[in-house]
């Protein structure tokens, strides 16, 4: 008997080991996958750059003074330099993995400092900058030098030609600045809508309402809503909030506001439930003590119960923000899938999660960039998590 018992105990113990190892391995594999694919593209430029590249055509004035700066000695093997033009070009890969040629540096006496914008003569700030992508250089006396021929050919063509026509260049596209700003807008507007509504509803349900059939019905309806797939809410957003915002705001299609409204509806039941939970754990001792001191119900709720429930409400807020950042299904309907750089509350746009969706539905799918965005999302959530923990820790230390 005792031997059998021992074997069973060992078995149970090992089951817990195995189960937790599998869980840890699966979770870390997701992290490793995202990290391995995404880390190579992760840099500050990605975060601050526009998604859509801006193309420019630069021409030169009639008279050109060529530069005389000698090539520096420590040129990398993939960098090619033209002394005459004071320009160094570099072979590189863009965010989709295709070859591109970027400007490595421009010397101070380069004639390219005098280029003018052919499409907009009045553009005073027009300039070729380090990091710009050079698509082609066109000449009047010979064929254009193109990206596919490489930086070396482009420099050689520049040196060989005497009749320069124009240089076509662009900013580096593929950045996520627009989606990042949209995500921040979504967080701000959604929380501003859903938090007060949710918290006050929870206070009503837990502190003021009589516990009867109606409030119980309300509670179970809220519970059901937490389990509804978000795409259903997305449909509702498309059917209700998009027309509403189009009718009453300058918007003319799905927009950030309709997306925020949809997200607020998704979050409302979650916020109500978790706020109610944190109100429930506030001991009745506090309520009794406050009431016995001649405070009324409202004073008791807002001066005693609510502050005590604050750490719980903060956690609910964090969960809500996580949900906003991560939500994609509902937003595909409610704010659209077009990646935008100029963000307006009343315009179409994508959040980071929808940006991933949009990249993965492109042909071909860009897994690297999607993983990089996933990595950025993970980091945002991590930072939020830590900061909320620190805040609630401060509260707890003050009170207990």
| Contact residues for other proteins, defined by CB under 8 A | 210-211, 283, 285-296, 299, 303-304, 307-308, 398-400
Using the minimum distance from each CB to other proteins, give the nearer residue, 93 or 396: 396
Which CB, 203 or 264, lies closer to other proteins? 203
At its nearest, how many Å lie between other proteins and the CB of residue 303? 7
Q: Would you say 135 or 290 has its CB closer to other proteins?
A: 290
Beta-bridge mates of residue 370: none
| CB < 8 Å & 24+ apart, contacts of 61-70 | 61/114, 61/116, 64/111, 64/114, 64/164, 65/109, 65/111, 66/111, 67/107, 67/109, 67/110, 67/111, 68/109, 69/107, 69/108, 69/109, 69/110
Cβ(254)–Cβ(333) below 8 Å = yes
Give 41's DSSP letter: G
Residue 93 vs 289, nearer CB to other proteins: 289
Q: Residue 207 or residue 327: which is nearer to other proteins going by CB?
A: 207
Nearest-angstrom CA–CA distance, 200 and 223: 17
The answer to whether 275 touches 308, Cβ cutoff 8 Å, is: no
Whole-number minimum distance, CB 386 to other proteins, in Å? 24
Mention every residue, 6+ apart, whose C-beta is less than 8 A from residue 308: 282, 286, 399
CB 340 within 8 A of CB 350: yes
Instruction: For residue 256, give the nearest of 210, 196, 193, 301 by alpha carbon.
Output: 193
- The residue among 291 and 391 lying less far from other proteins, judged by its C-beta, is 291
Minimum distance of other proteins from residue 250's CB (angstroms): 46
Alpha helix locations (H) across 118-167?
Answer: 150-160
Task: Specify the residue, 200 or 302, whose C-beta has the smaller distance to other proteins.
Answer: 302
CB nearer to other proteins: give 221 or 289.
289
Distance of alpha carbon 389 from alpha carbon 315, whole angstroms:
8
Question: 109 in helix, strand or coil?
Answer: coil
Helices (H) and strands (E) in the chain, counts: 14, 8
| Closer CB to other proteins, 205 or 261, in the complex | 205
Please state, in angstroms and as integers, the Cα–Cα distance from residue 181 to each residue in 165, 186, 187, 237, 326, following that order. 39, 9, 10, 21, 15
């Amino acid at each position: 008997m005792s031997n059998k018992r021992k074997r069973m105990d060992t078995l149970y113990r090992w089951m817990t080991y195995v189960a937790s190892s599998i869980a840890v391995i699966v979770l870390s594999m997701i992290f490793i996958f995202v990290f391995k694919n995404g880390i190579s593209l992760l840099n500050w430029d990605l975060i601050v750059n526009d998604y859509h590249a801006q193309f420019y055509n630069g021409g030169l004035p009639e008279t050109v003074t060529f530069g005389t700066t000698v090539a520096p000695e420590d040129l990398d093997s993939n960098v090619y330099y033209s002394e005459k033009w004071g320009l160094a070009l570099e072979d590189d890969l863009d965010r989709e993995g295709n070859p591109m040629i970027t400007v490595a540096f421009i010397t101070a006496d380069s004639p390219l400092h005098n280029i003018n914008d052919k499409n907009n003569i009045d553009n005073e700030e027009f300039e070729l900058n380090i990091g710009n992508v050079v698509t082609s250089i066109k000449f009047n006396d010979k064929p254009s030098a193109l990206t596919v021929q490489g930086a070396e050919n482009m420099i050689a063509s520049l040196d060989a030609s005497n009749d320069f026509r124009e240089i076509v260049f662009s900013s580096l596209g593929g950045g996520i600045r627009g989606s990042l700003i949209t995500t921040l807008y979504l967080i701000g507007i959604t929380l501003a809508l859903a938090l007060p509504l949710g918290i006050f509803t929870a206070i009503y349900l837990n502190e003021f309402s009589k516990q009867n059939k109606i409030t119980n019905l309300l509670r179970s309806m809220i519970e059901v809503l937490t389990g509804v797939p978000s795409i259903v809410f997305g449909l509702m957003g498309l059917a209700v909030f998009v027309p509403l915002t189009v009718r009453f705001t300058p918007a003319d299609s799905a927009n950030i506001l309709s997306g925020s409204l949809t997200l607020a509806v998704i979050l409302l039941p979650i916020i109500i439930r978790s706020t109610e939970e944190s109100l429930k754990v506030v001991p009745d001792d506090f309520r009794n003590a406050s009431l016995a001191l001649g405070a009324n119900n409202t004073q008791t709720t807002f001066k005693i119960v609510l502050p005590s429930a604050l750490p719980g409400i903060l956690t609910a807020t964090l969960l809500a923000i996580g949900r906003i950042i991560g939500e994609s299904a509902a937003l595909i309907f409610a704010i659209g899938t077009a990646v935008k750089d100029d963000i307006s509350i009343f315009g179409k746009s994508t959040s980071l999660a929808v940006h991933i969706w949009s990249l993965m539905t492109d042909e071909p799918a860009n897994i690297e960039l999607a993983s990089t965005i996933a990595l950025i999302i993970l980091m945002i959530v991590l930072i939020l998590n830590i900061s909320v923990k620190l805040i609630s820790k401060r509260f707890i230390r003050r009170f207990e």
